[in-house]
Amino acid sequence: MVKIKILISISIFSFLLIGTSALKNQTREIEKKIYDLSQIILFKERDLNESQLDFSYLTSPLMIEKKVEHLDNNKYFPMEYSRIFLSMSSYMDLQKKHVKQKHNYEKIQKK
């Protein structure tokens, strides 16, 4: 009779111990998922705020013109397409050409 009580109490204790650890692991996994989702939501909210800001400026070019005129007296023109570099290598090639031309010009000036 005493052995049966001890056996039942040990089995109940073991069941509760295993059940508690399993429940704790599931809870930890759910907390990780919640944290990951909250980080994704945070990034999406930042992106939304930036998109709303971009939209407000892009839909009102008069505001941009007024701010540019207010900030600086320089006139801004669109950049020529030939000055836009599509890759770093094309930019480096142009820089090498400028350096060679400058070097040749200095040689001519010294003579």
Task: Report CA torsion sign: 66, 71, 74, 76.
Answer: negative
Can you give the pLDDT at residue 38? 93
Mean pLDDT is highest, among 22-26, 49-53, 56-60, 97-101, for 22-26
Q: What is the pLDDT of residue 110?
A: 58
pLDDT over 90 (residue 78)? no
Nearest-angstrom CA–CA distance, 1 and 62: 92
d(CA 111, CA 47): 60
Between 99 and 27, where is the model more confident?
A: 27
> Long-range contacts of range 103-106, CB-CB < 8 Å, 24 or more positions apart?
none
CB count in 10 Å sphere of residue 6: 10
